[in-house]
Each structure stands twice: as structure tokens, then as C-alpha cells.
Homo-oligomer: A and B are copies of this chain.
């Protein structure tokens, strides 16, 4: 039997903005031997205020760019809104495997919860989509969701260090949101032992969130869960086709694309990626 051929598959990662760089970061940690192409559809964000049909069109166009023009062999939808509203449309638009962030988040919550009751914090748009509630229900979990619209702008301001005054503001905001959420959970007769971070910006607040959750509640990060599920799926597919991940990282390992606001992406992206994003290339996907 011949030994498996070494390969560096290209993984396409898509978000409406650049928050999905936290998912990319978790993917690179797990598969440093893969190539990555990241697209932020920054010209058309926020997806959250748009109709399902419009979001599906934008997401399908973005997915096709990653597959057809960047050669992605696997797609990770690192955007909660697109995962919630457009996963089917993306799967219809391309012929490669597609993974969103919501089902992996719900599966990780299922694995971590003993009571079966979970809390989910996310943006207003994600909560309104009810996608986490549905995914958790499919796992036999009861989920209570809360929109926390201040957390994304606080992360984008960089107020994420609780030892300085502006970070203390963020800690206060987190305390207020979590107090409201746990009070609502108690009123609903739930006994939650898991908090799911249902937004790709929230991993940057993980230390503050872990410090603020009541004892006995574990924090589950959808970005980590999605990266874990993607790595497992990619390794299985390589194994089935008689291949294996190369031993060394390809060069270049990463190309980043955006449809607008390249400057903001370059300025803030490194904080999300945990390394320099480098030059972000502008692409035009049309109106």
C-alpha cells in the first residue's frame, strides 16, 4: 500500500466583515499546513439588516469567488448571519463542502452541557434569525438567546483589556448583559451550564466573559467549535482520497480579500487574527 500523498488544500473562509478572522485563526492553529483564502464582504455589510434573499445572493457570490477564483476546496462560513440564513444557498452555489459556525457551536454545547440548558449571546440579527435556538433544539438542548449589540463596537474600539479604564467599561457592559440573561433564564425555569459565544467578535472578550459568568457555566466559542469540525472533516476527506496534510506550511499561507474598507480591515484585522493580516486585496463582486 502506497503512503498517502502530501497536500496543502486551500480552505476558503468567508465573512460579511472581518470578525470571521477569529475562525480563521482557530483554523490556522489546527491546520498550519493548509492554504487559506479569506474574503470579507465589507462593502455590503451588515448582512443582519438585509432580507434572506439578498443575503443568500451576496453569500453565494462570495462563495463562488473563493471556489472559482481562489481554488478553495472547502468552505467555512465564518459569519453567523450567513450561516443562519444562507447555508443552503451557498451549498447550492458551489460544489465543495461547506461548513457554517452555528451547527458546530450547538454540537459543542451539547458535548459540554449536563443540564441540557444553554445560554447564547450573539448580535441582534443572529438572535432574530433564531438559528441557534433551532440548532440547539435539534441537539436536544433548551437554549435562551440574548442580543448584545454593544459588544461588537466595543471590540472594534479595542476596549478589551479589563485592567484599564476603557476595558472596565466593557466589563461593566458584560456584567449587565449577563445579569439580564441569567435572570431571564431563572425566570424561565432553566438551569444553564453553558454559554455559547454566537458572534465571531466575541472570542476577543473571552477572558472578560469567563470572569463574569456565574460559577458552573462553561464558555463555548463557536469559532473554535467550527474550526475543530472543519479540521476533522478535511482530514477525513483527505484520508478517503489517499492524501494527507503536508508537513510544512505553504508559502504564502494566507491571502485576504475585502470588497471595501481595506484600510479598516488591515488596521483592526490583526487583533482578530492574532498575527499580521498583511496586505488586503480589494475585489469587486458587483452591487
Contact = CB atoms under 8 A, between A and B. Distances in A.
Interface of A: 42-43, 45-46, 49-51, 149-150, 153-154, 156-157, 165-166, 168-169, 172-173, 176, 260-261, 287
A158 to B, nearest CB: 11
Interface of A, secondary structure class, is helix
A168 to B, nearest CB: 8
Given A149-B153, A150-B157, A260 B173 contact: no
Contact of A169 (B169, B260, B287): B169
Nearest to A260: B49
B153 A50 contact: no
Given A43-B49, A50-B260, 16 more contacts: A42-B49, A43-B50, A45-B49, A46-B46, A49-B260, A49-B261, A149-B153, A149-B157, A150-B153, A150-B154, A150-B157, A165-B176, A169-B172, A169-B173, A169-B176, A287-B287
Contacts of A176: 165-166, 169
A54 to B, nearest CB: 8
Contacts of A49: 42-43, 45, 260-261
12 contacts: A45-B49, A49-B260, A49-B261, A51-B260, A149-B156, A150-B150, A150-B153, A150-B157, A165-B172, A168-B172, A169-B169, A169-B172
Contacts of A154: 150
